[in-house]
Amino acid sequence: MKRAITTALAGAAFLIAGAFGAPAAAAEQRAVEPDPQIAAMLEAIPGGVALDAYNAVWPELDMEMRVAATQADSFAARSSAAIASVGACATGKVCAFSLSGTNGSKLSWGTCNTSFPVGTFTVRSIADARSSGYVQAKYGTTVRATAYAGSWTNVYGSVSRISCVS
């Protein structure tokens, strides 16, 4: 009798483990395929991690990238833009955008007094949502655009780095 109960409990444990373990294993196997812009930046600038198909971070650089929302995600995009302090650039950040007027895909940084590579990202506008200092879009040593604290500006020409000054 004792042996039958032990066997029954072991069988039940096996079934429960199978029922709960299989979905978790399946979820781990489904890798999220990042947007092509995210994939290109992850390849161009080492150390990045894709959070989902539309967001990536580079922890060592305190850099984030968010790809422009699709039609299905437009509500989320409107919600995040409503809380931003300079266009779609959140308070305390400096940002680079793929379209003019702080639109499109976005790179953002939370640290300053340094220069950040933009890899394959096309910069068409920049914003400085801090209370002091400025951010510049540069190609080599040539300054393409400067946005002062609390403002943004469009960028014309190629950009290789974003420089932030306190």
At 166 the pLDDT is 87
Q: Which of 86, 134, 125 lies closest to 105 in space, CA to CA?
A: 125
CA 78/CA 82 separation, integer angstroms: 6
Q: What pLDDT does residue 69 have?
A: 59
Q: Give me 21's structure tokens.
A: 């373990």
Nearest one of 154, 88, 146 to 124, comparing CA atoms: 154
Architecture in CATH for domain 36-165: Sandwich (2.60)
Mean residue pLDDT of the chain comes to 79
C-alpha 16: how far from its chain's center?
38
Q: What is the pTM of this model?
A: 0.67
Q: Which of 17-21, 37-41, 115-119 is predicted with the least confidence, judged by mean pLDDT?
A: 17-21
Average pLDDT over residues 57-79: 69
Residue bearing the bigger pLDDT, 117 or 76: 117
pLDDT > 90: percent of the chain: 45
Q: Is the pLDDT of residue 24 over 50?
A: no
* Overall average pLDDT of the 66-95 stretch: 66
| DSSP secondary structure letter of residue 61 | G
Residue 45 has pLDDT above 60, yes or no: yes
Tokens of 131: 């209370």
- Please tell me the predicted confidence (pLDDT) of residue 70: 61
CA distance 30 to 93: 33
What is d(CA 116, CA 62) in angstroms, rounded to the nearest whole number? Answer: 10
**Could you state, in order of their start, the residue ranges of all structural domains in the chain?**
1-30, 36-165
One-letter amino acid at 121 equals F
Residue 80, pLDDT above cutoff 70: no
DSSP string, 7-27: HHHHHHHHHHHHHHHHHHHHH
